[in-house]
Amino acid sequence: MPRMFGTDGVRGLANRDLTAQLALHLGDAAVRVLGESKDATHAEGRRRALVGRDTRVSGDFLASALSAGMSAGGFDVIDAGIIPTPGVAFLTSVLNVEMGAVISASHNAMPDNGIKFFARGGFKLPDSKEDEIEQVLGQDWDRPTGAGVGRISHDTTTATNLYIDHLVSAIAPIGRDKIQPKPLAGLKVVADCANGATSVVAPEALRRAGAEVVVINASPDGYNINKNAGSTHPEQLQAMVKASDAQMGVAFDGDADRCLAVDEDGNMVNGDQIMGILARAKMREGKLKDNTLVITIMSNLGLKIALKNMGIKTVETNVGDRYVLEAMLRDGYSLGGEQSGHVINREFATTGDGTLTALTLCNEVVRSGKSLKELAADFPQLPQQLVNVPNVDKNGVKSNAAIAEAVRREEELLGDTGRVLLRPSGTEPLVRVMAEAQTQQEADDVCNRLAQVVKDELSL
C-alpha cells in the first residue's frame, strides 16, 4: 500500500482523494501523535493547535473537518483563516502552540488540496512522525469528554498582522526611536500573488518596506488560485513588469512558500539564481554559516560552478524543502532551498517563505545598487530540460534494468559537461526526467530519449 504522506503532506483531489472524513481522521490522529507530551501551552493548561489554509473553496470544509478532529481530541484550535504556509509555521512557533496545520495544495490546480502539519516550534514533520499519524488513523481511542473537549476560535486579523510585522522586520527592524525604516524606497516591483494565500500579505509587506507595488492576481474567489497566474504561469508578470517600467517582479505560488522573480526585461530569475544572489549577500555580511548553501539534486550545475568560483560550498539533499531543512539543522547551515523557488532563510524562518524571499531579494537589489538582471547574470544556468512522464509506475524507475542502461549510455555521452536525473514524483503517478548539457539541443535530445524509455518501460 503506498504511503499516504508524500513529499509535502497528504495531497489529492479534494472531496475525492482528500475528503472531509479523511481530514477529520487526520486531525484526530495528529493530536494523538503530536500531543503526546501533554505539555501545557497556555495559562489554562490546555493544549492548542493552529490551522491555516489557502484560498481554495474546498479549504472551507476541510478546515472545518480538520479542526473538528483536533478539538474532539482535546485541543483548542485557533483558525487563522487564509494565510501563507510559512505564516502558519511562524505562528506555530511564536504562539507556542503544540502543532500547526496547513490546508493547501501549493502550486497544484484548484481542484486539488492537501494537509500538512508542523510540530511545536514551526518545523515540518519528519517521515517517522507522519508514519505514526498514518498508523493510528481511524483507530478508536479514549477520547476526552466534558471539559476535556477543545474549542475552535477564529482570529484572522491578529495572525496576519503578526506575520506581516515579522516579515517586514527581517529587512527593516524597528529602531530605538520606534520608527521603521523604508529600505525598499525607490524600488518599483510587480507582485503576482497567484490569487492565493499571500494576496494580502505580500503587497502589504512590500509597501510597508517602502516599495512601490503593482499588484496582479490578488483577487481570490475560491476557484482562481494558480489559474494562469503566479510562479507556475509567470507570463502575466513578465508582461506587466515591462509594461509598468518596474525594476523587477516577484511571483508566488498558491500557499506562498516559494518565490520566483522577473528582471526589468521580463526575463525569469529562477530559484537557483535567487539562492545564489542571497548566498553571496549573506557571505558578504558574515552570515552564511561555513560559507555553505544547501541545495537539492535538482539544482542546476551552473549554480554549483558559479558558487565554487565565489568560494561558496554546496551540500546536496533529496528534493523537498524539509530535507533541505534537515541538513541545515543538522549542521547549522543558514541558507538553503530549491530551484523551484523554495528558499529557507534560517535567520528568520523554519520553512520556505516566498514573501520573505521576495523582500530579501528586493533588499539586495537596492543595497547592491545593481539591477536584478545584473545580479542574476553572475549565476548562469547550464541548458536544462525537464520532462514529466505521466501515468507510469513511478516506483519502478530505480529498479528497471532497461532504464538503468539508458541512463548509463546518456551519462557516458555527456561526460563531465552535463548530467541526467530521473526522479519519481512524491504526489503524482509520474516520473520527472531532467537533463543538463552544454547546449539546449543536447539537453533536449538526452531528456526526450530517456523520457521515451521511461514511458515504454513503465506505462500503466
Supply the residues annotated as catalytic.
106
CA distance linking residue 414 with residue 435, whole number of Å: 10
CA distance linking residue 432 with residue 357, whole number of Å: 26
H or E segment and range at residue 449? helix 440-458
Is 150 in a helix, a strand, or coil? coil
Cβ pair 22, 103 in contact under 8 A: no
Is 345 in a helix, a strand, or coil? strand
Cβ pair 437, 418 in contact under 8 A: yes
Is 62 in a helix, a strand, or coil? helix
Degrees to nearest 5, angle at CA 437 with 431 and 442: 85
Distances (CA, A) of 11 to 6, 19, 42, 78, 105: 7, 11, 32, 22, 6
CA terminus-to-terminus distance, the chain = 17
Buried-state track 383-392, b at ≥16 Cβ within 10 A, e below 16: bbbbbebeeb
Cβ pair 391, 456 in contact under 8 A: no
**Residue 212: which residues within 8 A CB-CB, separation 6 or more?**
187, 188, 189
Question: Sign (positive/negative) of CA torsion 247, 251, 257, 258?
Answer: negative
CA distance linking residue 372 with residue 336, whole number of Å: 20
Distances (CA, A) of 308 to 105, 288, 292, 293, 301: 35, 14, 10, 11, 11
Q: Rounded to the nearest 10 degrees, how much is the dihedral formed by the CA atoms of 214, 220, 223, 225?
A: 50
Cell readout for 11 is 495531497
CA distance linking residue 389 with residue 40, whole number of Å: 49
Cell 491578529 locates to 158
CB atoms under 10 Å from CB of 370, counted, come to 15
CA distance linking residue 78 with residue 50, whole number of Å: 5
